[in-house]
Amino acid sequence: MFTKSPIESKVLNEKIKNIKPNLQRITILPTLVCNLRCKFCHVWGTNGWALKGVKKINEQLNIDSLKDFINEANKNNKFDIVLSGGEPLLYNSLQELIEFLYSKNIKINILTNGLKLIDHASFLTDHACFISISIDGSAQVHDNIRNKQNLFDTVCNGIEEIIELKSKKSKPFPVIQINYVISEYNYNNISEFIVSIRNRFASLKVNIKFKQDFISRPKDLILTFEPLLFTTKARGEDYADIMLEHLNCKVTETWESFIKDEIKIDSKAVAEVLKREWDNAKINYSDNVDIIEYFENISNVFGRTRCISPWQKLVIGPNGSSYFCPDLPDYSVGNINNNSFEEIWVGKPAEHFRRIMKERLFPVCNRCCSLFSNFNIEQVKE
Ligand code: SF4
Ligand code: SF4
C-alpha cells in the first residue's frame, strides 16, 4: 500500500456525484476458518471477535449459490475475483470454485497466510493470476506474530515450489507478492526482513514495490508493505450511531477489533527505513502518503473525502451475505443464497448505502484499506 497521495478532494467529490455502479472486483470470503492465530488479526487475534463467543465461525460458502451468482454477474460485467478469509485455502470447495472461475476467464487473486501453499502449489500455478502471501518479519518475528513455529520456513518452501513450477513452465503467472503488514510487533524489523527474504530467495529477483503489480517475470518476487488498519473507540462509536441513524443498521462488534487508541509504532523510524529501502530500489516515493501522518494523525485522509468502493466492489461473506466494506460486514445489501445479482448490486439497500456515501465518509473510513487502495485510486483518476 502506501499509495500515491494527492487526490483532489474536489475532483473526487465531483466524480462521486455522477458515478454509476461499475463492478470491477468481487472479494469472496469463502470461510473465516483459519489455521493460524495471528496476534493482530481482527478475527482471530488478541482483540479479534471470533474468540468472543461469536457463533457460526465455521461456515463455508455455498458453492452452488456462488456459481449462480457469478454466472449472473458475469453476463454484463468484467471483474476479477479476490479470494480472502479466514484462510481461503481451507475452503472445502476450493478446487471446484477455482476451476469454475478459470473456465469463465475470470482473473483469480488469492490472499493467503501461505501455511498450506505447498499442498496447492501445482493447482494454483495452473489457475491463479496473483497470489499475495503474508510474511510480517524475518523468521523469528514472523513466527512470533503468527504464533506458529517454523512458519516462515514453511511459507517460503511453498513460495519456492510455485516459483520453480512457474519457471519450469515458463509462466509469468501467478505473480507472487509477499505482503508485510507494519504493526507494533514488527515496525523495527523491516530491513532485517528484506535481507532475510533476499537471502532465502537468493536466485530470484526480489522487487520492492508499492502495490500489486502484474508485470512480472517467472523468477520475480514482489515485496510490498502495508500499514496496519486501525480506528479509535470514539470513531467506532460515531460510526455505530451514523449507521443506526442513516441506514437503520445496528452494527456488530467487528469495528471494536480495530481499535488502537495509542499507536505503539515509532512512525519516524518506519518512514526513514522505508525511504532508505525505496531509495535503494530506485522507487520514486515523492508523492506517496506520508507514513508519519498516516500513523499519527488519523483525521488526515490525504484528500480522500469519499470512498468509491461501493460503486466498484462487492464482498461476499461465508454465509452468503453481501456488503461493500471489506472489514465491516455490518450493512448487508442482500444474500447470494436468496437474492439475484441484480437485487444485490443495484437493489434498494445498495442504492441507499451509495446515496449516503455520496455525501460523506464514515468515521471508521479514515484508515480503511479501501480508502488507500491503489486499485480505487486509479479508478478515480481515470
Ligand atoms: S492468517 Fe489471516 S485470518 Fe488467519 S489469524 Fe492470521 S490474520 Fe487472521
Ligand atoms: S472506506 Fe469506508 S465506505 Fe469505503 S470500504 Fe472502507 S469502511 Fe467502507
DSSP string, 105-158: T--EEEEE-STTHHHHHHHHHHH-SEEEEE--SSHHHHHHHTT-TTHHHHHHHH
- Which pLDDT value is given to residue 382? 54
Contact assessment for residue 155 and residue 195, using Cβ atoms and an 8 Å cutoff: no
Among 146, 126, 130, smallest CA distance to 138 is for 146
Cell match 468502493: residue? 309
**Residue 223: pLDDT band by 50, 70, 90 thresholds?**
very high
User: Measuring from atom 3 of ligand 1, which residue has the nearest CA?
Assistant: 86
Give me the mean pLDDT over the 312-320 stretch: 97
pLDDT in tens, 227-283: 989 999 999 999 999 999 999 999 998 999 999 988 999 999 999 999 999 899 888
- Which pLDDT value is given to residue 294? 94
Whether residue 6 has pLDDT greater than 80: no
Q: Is 267 in the pocket of ligand 1 (CB under 6 A)?
A: no
Q: Is 294 in the pocket of ligand 1 (CB under 6 A)?
A: no
Dist. CA 212–CA 222, nearest whole Å: 8
Dist. CA 173–CA 130, nearest whole Å: 7
Q: Is 336 in the pocket of ligand 2 (CB under 6 A)?
A: no
Q: Determine the length of the chain.
A: 382
Whether residue 213 has pLDDT greater than 80: no
Residue 377 neighbours by CB distance under 10 Å: 19
Q: 267-280 and 190-200 helices cross at what angle (nearest 10)?
A: 40
- Which pLDDT value is given to residue 48? 82
Whether residue 381 has pLDDT greater than 60: no
pLDDT in tens, 57-93: 789 999 999 999 999 999 999 999 999 999 999 999 9
Atom of ligand 1 minimally distant from the CA of 40: 7
Q: What is the distance in A from the centroid of ligand 1 to the CA of 297?
A: 27
End-to-end distance of the chain based on CA atoms, in angstroms?
Answer: 19
Q: Is 44 in the pocket of ligand 1 (CB under 6 A)?
A: yes
φ and ψ of 64, to 5 deg: -70, -45
CA–chain centroid gap for 275, Å, is 23
The order of strands in the sheet holding 80-83 is 205-208, 220-227, 175-182, 130-134, 108-112, 80-83, 25-28, 313-316, 321-323, 334-335
3-class secondary structure, 33: coil
Residues 153-171 as b/e (b if ≥16 CB within 10 A, e otherwise) read ebbbebbbbbbebbeeeee
Quote the mean pLDDT of the chain: 91
Dist. CA 274–CA 279, nearest whole Å: 8
**Residue 206: pLDDT band by 50, 70, 90 thresholds?**
confident
Contact assessment for residue 369 and residue 1, using Cβ atoms and an 8 Å cutoff: yes
pLDDT in tens, 144-173: 999 999 999 999 999 999 999 999 998 889
- H/E stretch holding 356: helix 348-359
Among 2, 15, 1, smallest CA distance to 381 is for 15
**Residue 24: pLDDT band by 50, 70, 90 thresholds?**
very high
User: Measuring from atom 8 of ligand 2, which residue has the nearest CA?
Assistant: 325
Percent of the chain with pLDDT over 90: 74
Give 160-167's long-range contacts (Cβ < 8 A, gap of 24+). Answer: 160/201, 161/117, 161/118, 161/121, 162/117, 162/121, 162/124, 162/125, 162/131, 163/201, 163/204, 163/218, 163/219, 163/221, 165/121, 165/122, 165/125, 166/125, 166/218, 166/219, 167/218, 167/219
